Amino acid sequence: MPTYYPLPFPFDKVLAKEERLKTESLEASIRDNIRFCIMTRIGEFAYDKTLGFEMWEHDKKVFYHEKEPYYEEEVEIVYKGLMENSAARKDFTKALKTLVTNNEIRLEHIEASFQFKEIGDNDSLGSVYQRRIEIVIKGRIKSTGRQLNPPFIMEILYSPFMIESNM
C-alpha cells in the first residue's frame, strides 16, 4: 500500500533525522491536498503559478483595490460587488470544481458545493453576525472505486468590518 505524508511536509524533521515521519491514509492525503489548493492564492505557489482558488483574488479586488503596493492586478474577475451575489457563487462553484479536478488527480466524478451561510443575529443596531462559506467536495477515489467518505468539508468565516462610534 502506498505511503502518504501530511501537508505541510516536515522538511525540517527529514533534514534533522529526528524521528520517523508520520504517514496518513489515502483519504486524509486527498483532503490535505484539497485544503492546500483552496487556501492557496493564485500565483502564491512557487512551482505552479496557476494553482490557487480565485475566491482570494476576489477578496483582493474588494478589500485592497486602493491599497498599493499590497494589491497587484493579475487575474481578471468578471463579476463585481459583494461576494455573496449569485454570479459570484456560481463562478466560485465552477472554479472550485475546476481547481480540484485539475489538481487532485486521485479523484473522479467530482462534485463541488460553495455556499454562503449567515451565523448569529441581526439586531436593530446593525449587523451582529458573521458570514461563513461552506465548501463541500465529493468524489470517487480512482484507485479504490470508493467514495471519499466522509466528503471534504471546509468552513471559512468571514465578515466585513463594521465600525460604530458615538462621536
Q: pLDDT in tens for each of the 167 residues of the chain? A: 678 888 777 777 778 877 778 889 999 999 999 999 999 988 888 888 999 998 877 766 655 555 555 545 554 544 445 555 666 667 889 999 999 999 999 999 999 999 887 766 655 555 545 677 889 999 999 999 999 999 999 988 776 544 443 43
User: Would you say how long the chain is, in residues?
Assistant: 167
Q: Which CATH architecture has domain 11-158?
A: Roll (3.10)
Q: What residue ranges do the domains of the chain occupy?
A: 11-158
CA dihedral 78, 152, 107, 22 (to 10 degrees): 120
Peptide bond before residue 150 is cis, with ω within 30 degrees of 0: yes
pTM of the entire predicted model: 0.74
